[in-house]
Amino acid sequence: MILKNSKILLEVCDLRATVNGTEILKGLNLTVRSGEIHAIMGPNGSGKSTFSKILAGHSAYEITGGTVLLEGKNLLDLAPEERARAGIFLAFQYPIEIPGVVNSQFLRLTYNTVQTHRGHEELDPLEFDDFVREKMKLLEMNPDFLERSVNEGFSGGEKKRNEILQMAILDPRLAILDETDSGLDIDALRIVANGVNQLANENNATILVTHYQRLLNYIVPDYVHVMEAGRIIKTGGKELAFELETRGYDWVGIEHDTAARATA
C-alpha cells in the first residue's frame, strides 16, 4: 500500500557493481518506503537477481559505485549476517540444501539470533515449537518439515514455502523475493502469495523479483519497475505488468532509448 508520509526504508542511488570484472549493475536507482510492494521485472540477464544478492551482501560481487541506505544507514558497510539482523531478508531463487542440520534447529537459531539483535528474548525449544507451528499453518505446511534436514530432498515448491516460513519467523523490514514463483504449481503459488500478503504491513516493504506477471495476480504491487542492462528503465503502477505481459519487454527498451536520445 502506498502511504502518505511513510518513511523511506531503502534508498539505492546510482548503484554500480561488477562480477569478475564485468559490470552487471550500471547505475541503479530505487526508493522503497514502508508499506510498499515493489515488483522488479525484466528479461533474463538484466541484473534482477544480482541486485537481490547484492542487497543481501553476497561476496561474489564488487560494488564499484553508488550508495545503498537502509533506514538511513549505509547497508554496504555491513556483513551479510549484519544485514539480515538489520532486517533484510532474501527469499532465495534456489534455496540451499544443508544436509544433517535439522530444520527446527536451524529455524530456532536464526530466530533467536535475530531476536537477540533486536533486544528481544530468545525462545526455548518448546516455546519455539509452538511459535513455528502457528506460522506453518499460514503456509499450510506439514509439521514433518521441522524434523527434516534444511531443504534436503525438498521439492521445488516445498523449498519455496520453507523460504516464506523463514520470512514469517524473522519478520523482516525489507523482504526481497527472488523468483519465488518459479517452480510453483498454481496451488502452491496461491498459498505462498497468501502468506506474503498476510505478512505485508505498514512497517515493512517487499520487493518481488520476477519474470512473469502471473505472481502479480496474487500479490498486487504498488510499483512495477522494468530492469534492463543493469538499471531500472521504466517505472509504473500494477497496470505496467499487464502491458509487459501482452507486449513483452522490447518496446520498453526502445522507448527508453528514444527518450534518452531526445534528452541528449
Q: Between 89 and 223, name the residue whose CB sits nearer to another protein.
A: 89
Stretch that binds another protein, among 4-12, 39-47, 96-104, 206-214 (CB under 8 A): 96-104
Three cell numbers, residue 163: 523460504
Residue 157 identity (one-letter amino acid): G
User: Is 235 near another protein (CB under 8 A)?
Assistant: no
What track of x and - describes contact with another protein for positions 170 through 189 (by CB under 8 A)? Answer: x-------------------
Three cell numbers, residue 140: 499450510
Contact yes or no for 107/141 (Cβ under 8 A):
no
For the bound state, the minimum distance from the C-beta of residue 4 to another protein, rounded and expressed in Å, comes to 33
User: Is 98 near another protein (CB under 8 A)?
Assistant: yes
For the bound state, the minimum distance from the C-beta of residue 247 to another protein, rounded and expressed in Å, comes to 35
User: Is 168 near another protein (CB under 8 A)?
Assistant: no
Q: Between 84 and 184, name the residue whose CB sits nearer to another protein.
A: 84
Q: What is the DSSP letter of 148?
A: S
Q: Which of 6, 11, 106, 190 touches another protein by CB under 8 A? A: 106
Q: What are phi and psi of 202, to 5 degrees?
A: -75, -10
User: Is 80 near another protein (CB under 8 A)?
Assistant: yes
Kindly give the interhelix angle for 239-247 and 250-263, rounded to the nearest 10 degrees.
110
- CA-CA distance, 69 to 29, in Å (whole number)? 12
Kindly give the interhelix angle for 125-138 and 156-170, rounded to the nearest 10 degrees.
120
User: Is 89 near another protein (CB under 8 A)?
Assistant: yes
User: Is 92 near another protein (CB under 8 A)?
Assistant: yes
User: Is 101 near another protein (CB under 8 A)?
Assistant: yes
Three cell numbers, residue 136: 506453518
> What are 17's strand-pairing partners?
25, 63
- Please name the residues in contact with 48: beta carbons below 8 A apart, sequence gap of 6 or more: 40, 41, 42, 178, 209, 227
> What are 74's strand-pairing partners?
69
Q: Between 115 and 235, name the residue whose CB sits nearer to another protein.
A: 115
Which residues within the stretch 15-74 sit at the binding site for another protein (CB under 8 A)? Answer: 56-60
How many chain residues bind another protein (CB under 8 A)? 32
Residue 257 identity (one-letter amino acid): D
By the criterion CB under 8 A, which residues form the site for another protein? 56-60, 79-81, 83-85, 88-90, 92, 95-96, 98-102, 105-106, 109-110, 113-114, 117, 149, 166, 170
